[in-house]
Amino acid sequence: MPGLLRGVARTAVVAGTATAVSNRVSRRQAGRWAQQDAQQVVYAEPAPPPQAPAQTGAPSMEEKLEQLQQLAALKEKGVLTEQEFAAQKARILGG
């Protein structure tokens, strides 16, 4: 019986040591990977800013009329003065 008990105790010690070593290696690897991820984030190039959609040319007559109607509504509400309205109207019709 003492031989059997000694064998079981030895197996328990070996298994416990292997588990402890395995856990230590896993933690060390996880720390290294986290450090590498942090470095990659720091050195990553920033994404280019989104570009505004390109206009296909001069606004159509419908778009100009809509803008003029919006300006007229703002003038009626008192948001725009007569001079501001005239300046914006000239910009829309001239553009």
Res 76: pLDDT: 92
Q: Which has more confidence, 46 or 70?
A: 70
* Residue 63 vs residues 36, 83, 91, 93: alpha-carbon distances, Å: 53, 22, 13, 11
What does the pLDDT look like over 20-32, one tens digit per residue?
A: 778 888 888 888 8
Give the pLDDT band of residue 46 (cuts 50, 70, 90). Answer: low
Confirm if 94 and 67 have CB atoms less than 8 A apart.
Answer: no
**CA distances to 11, 28, 91 from 76, in Å:** 93, 72, 19
Residue 42 is predicted with a pLDDT of 54
Model-level pTM greater than 0.95? no
User: Per-residue pLDDT averaged across 75-82, rounded?
Assistant: 89
How does the average pLDDT of the chain come out, rounded?
Answer: 79
